[in-house]
Structure 1
Amino acid sequence: MLLTPKNIALTLRLRKASRRAGVPVRELPEPDLLAATDPRTDPTKWGLPADDRVVTRGPDEDPELTAAVTALREGNWEPAATRLAATWSDWDTRGRVTTALGEAAANDDTWLEAWRAARPDDPGHAVVHARALVSLAWQVRGAGWGSDIAPEQATAFRRLLGDAEPAAYAAAMAAPEDPTPWATLLTIAVGRSWDHDEFEEAWQQLVDRDPANVLGHQSALRYWSARWHGSDDLMTAFAERAATVAPPLAVLPLMAAFELDHVPDAWHTRAITDALDVLLPRLATATESHTTRAERGWAIAALRERGRHPEALDQFRALDIHADAAPWPKYDRPLLAFLQHRRDACRKAGRRHR
């Protein structure tokens, strides 16, 4: 770092904040770090909550599911079975509930075995079992690139997904109308490196049952990415087609553009314009939820890249204190990313109105 007056002042502010917090500079809490590095920007002047009020955990939007997961810790599976059964035909909710129960079973599946023993013909435990194996496999693997995964992790990952695949097919046979096992299979396809023809067969089974299935579309977007089994062009084309299927899928081109940080004009295509034209009016009247907050986060990413900072600021106002949804968890320090992007929107929106 060059010893300019500006950098010296920044260093002194960081050291002062570090002493006040009692931690090294690199461990400063996000609000303290931002107050030192950007002392002139006060988000409250733009009608935003103070940095230290922002949280990365959202409100409880499904108390029945929360209670069911809590009951599982005591071995009581019946509330989980009841909550899952109530999602029938509301496929996006079923995907969300299945994922939550699968994550719980990945940690301890004793209750799942008890459910199967008590109600062998209930298709619910089969769909949760498949998702639990997938959740456990990805927990074991971790989120890094393949080159960063230890050999023993890779072996366990492949073994668990190998077990998950027949479990997902069994769940599909147990409930032929349910798209959820097919969405699970698409996630398995990513990890098991299915070829394109095999993937397309499972994809067709999913969309035959639920053409706008959100969980399945998100898995497919990952599959078609260059990081996994597609390319930038295949991922972009998939996202653009999917966005025309139903308004909740309009966000997919924005998710794809986020992955294309090496492509200079990724945020400046007609597909991004069209996606925002669908997404922003929906968000103006939407009921707040985790899904809505994720859509706002993706909209913020696109609006910032396009220089539409006042509109990005409007979305931050709607998010209020909640930084729990995408895209913030994709950053190493999600809360810091949220707060930095928010301050950036404040500064640039302020310049536009001088």
Structure 2
Amino acid sequence: MGFLSNRRKRTRLAPELDDQELGRLLKSLLATTRTGTIATTDLCMAQMSRLLDQDPGDWDRRTHRISVLADFLAASHLPRSWAAREPRNATALVLHAWSQVAQARAQDRPGDTSDAAESCLRAAELAPDDPTPWVALLKVARRERWKQPHVFGVWNEVLARDRWNREAYMNMLGYLAPEEAGSRMQVLDFVDALGARMPANAPCVATELTAQVFQYHAILGRGGYEALVARTHWSQGTAAQALDRAAHTWGQPGFLRHAKSLADLNLLAHALMAADRRVEARTAFEAVGGIVTAWPWQSAGDPLTEFEQAQRRATVGL
């Protein structure tokens, strides 16, 4: 227990990852929203606007920040209030729509997201070059189980504006899974088509490994003999190749530069430990630097505990 107590001081769940400005905003929002006054609402809106309007054209960073804020504010009145006060502000409309979907997911209910879809389309008209309204609409489409032709139409709008948008690829991966609206074959075709064109350090580089982790978790979920030999998944075919490629390159200093790089390194550490490749996992843990993502660690229990125990196993024998 002493190891875990000391490790817990150095590890933390941080949805903002290494985005320090976003982290400061989250702390400020948490502090100022407690008063619930109109003045603090105005202050929060100004703070969010200032951060989200930074670095025009950096769609990767903008998507990351909106996604984190939407999850953080899913139960708050702030996104709706901001969109109501500034109905011609594309950023406010996107955050409102995204947070509606996040709230429906958090409450595990279908929810009425028709207003969210309308907000996305208005935002797309106001900011025609911005991919985030279409990424948000892709999330709405998943939630409402739109038919594939309509979903692919939204998907193409994202790609026309941001070819390697990580959030869009992850949403399509989820949508095409057999648990939603697709099949295992569609997932494989999607990943294969991506790998043929994608730069090795693109923001969406973790799509292939994510698909393999999903499949690994599905095997574990079936229980019985399959679960007992689930580790063999990582020594066979496409799973082994995907893990080899990631292990060879991702941990190199400066190789991954996109906003969610640390999330991808968490994924890599998890997969390497599942494959019992501990030496390589140590490199991934070092690159993570103690910043923990809820997924994929939460699949087996408390994410911090699972991360810490995996990190300890990776260092046994040093």
1:318, distance to aligned residue in structure 2 (A): 3.0
Aligned partner (choices 146, 166, 169) of residue 194 of structure 1: 146
Distance in 2 (CA, whole Å) between partners of 1:52 and 1:123 is: 40
Partner of 1:100: 68
Alignment partner, residue 241 of structure 2:
273
Query: What's the counterpart of residue 254 of structure 1?
Result: 209
Residue identity (%): 22
Match of residue 131, structure 1, among 98, 101, 113? 98
Distance 1:60 1:250 in 2: 17
Moved more, 170-179 or 49-58: 49-58
TM-score, length basis structure 2: 0.78
Match of 2:279 in 1: 310
- Read off the aligned partner of 2:302 and give its amino acid letter: R
Alpha-carbon separation, structure 1, partners of 2:305 and 2:260: 21
Say if 2:310 is the partner of 1:341: yes
Equivalent pair of 1:172/1:181 in contact (CA under 8 Å): yes
Task: Tell me the SS of whatever aligns to 1:106.
Answer: coil
Specify which of 38, 43, 52 is matched with residue 84 of structure 1.
Answer: 52
Structure 2: distance between partners of 1:323 and 1:124: 28
Partner amino acid, structure 1, of 2:209: L
Match for 1:56 among 3, 6, 12?
A: 12
CA, structure 1 residues 289+338, in 2 after alignment: closer, same or farther (shift >3 Å)? farther
In 2, Cα distance between equivalents of 1:226 and 1:198? 18
Do the aligned partners of residues 231 and 111 (structure 1) sit closer, same or farther apart at CA in structure 2, a change above 3 Å counting?
closer
Map residues 155-166 of structure 1 onto 2, 5 A cutoff.
157-159=110-112, 161-166=113-118
SS in structure 1 of the partner of residue 12 of structure 2 = coil
Aligned-partner residue type, residue 345 of structure 1: A
Shift of 1:68: 4.2
Distance in 2 (alpha carbons) for counterparts of 1:285 and 1:203: 32
Does the 8 Å contact 1:251/1:279 carry over to 2? no
Distance apart, 1:324 and its partner CA? 3.5
The answer for unaligned runs of 5 or more in structure 1 is 1-30, 36-48, 142-153
Alignment length (residue pairs): 289
8 Å contact kept, 2:18–2:262: no
Worse-matched range after superposition: 217-226 or 281-290? 281-290
Summarize the alignment of residues 282-297 of structure 1 with structure 2, pairs less than 5 Å apart: 282-286=250-254, 291-297=260-266
Distance 1:209 1:275, change over 3 A: farther
1:65 matched to 2:17? The reply is no
Cα shift at 1:116: 4.8
Rounded to whole Å, the distance in 1 between the matches of 2:83 and 2:137 is: 23
How far has the Cα of 1:331 moved from its partner?
3.2
What's the counterpart of residue 242 of structure 1? 194
Q: Distance in 1 between matches of 2:312 and 2:12?
A: 17
Q: 1:307 to 1:99 in 2, by over 3 A?
A: closer
User: What is the TM-score when the length of structure 1 is the normalising length?
Assistant: 0.71
Contact 2:175–2:182 under 8 Å retained in 1: yes
Distance in 2 (alpha carbons) for counterparts of 1:208 and 1:194: 20
Q: Distance in 2 between matches of 1:95 and 1:208?
A: 15
Between Structure 1 and Structure 2, whose CA radius of gyration is higher? 1
Residue 222 (structure 2) aligns with = none
One of 269, 274, 277 as aligned partner of 1:300: 269
| Distance of aligned partners of 1:114 and 1:215 in 2 relative to their CA distance in 1, 3 Å threshold | closer
Change (3 A) 1:64 1:303: closer
Mapped to 1, the partners of 2:78 and 2:288 lie a distance apart of 38
Does the 8 Å contact 2:173/2:211 carry over to 1? Answer: yes
Deviation string 1:67-88 (CA, Å, 9 cap, x unpaired) is 5452562211112112111143
In structure 2, do the counterparts of structure 1 residues 257 and 114 end up closer, same or farther at CA, with 3 Å as the change threshold?
Answer: closer
**Alignment deviations for residues 119-172 of structure 1 (CA, whole Å, 9 cap, x no partner):** 54332211112112112221221xxxxxxxxxxxx3xx332x232122212221
* 8 Å Cα contact 2:120/2:136 also seen in 1: yes
* Amino acid of the structure 2 residue aligned with 1:127: V
Q: Return the alpha-carbon distance in structure 2 between the equivalents of residues 165 and 196 of structure 1.
A: 16
Deviation (angstroms), 1:284: 1.2
Cα distance, 1:181 vs. partner?
Answer: 1.1
> Shift of the alpha carbon at 1:271?
6.0
Superposed CA deviations along residues 187-226 of structure 1, whole A, max 9, x for unmatched, are 1122111111111111111111111001111111111112
Q: Could you tell me whether the CA contact under 8 Å between 2:209 and 2:242 is conserved in 1?
A: no
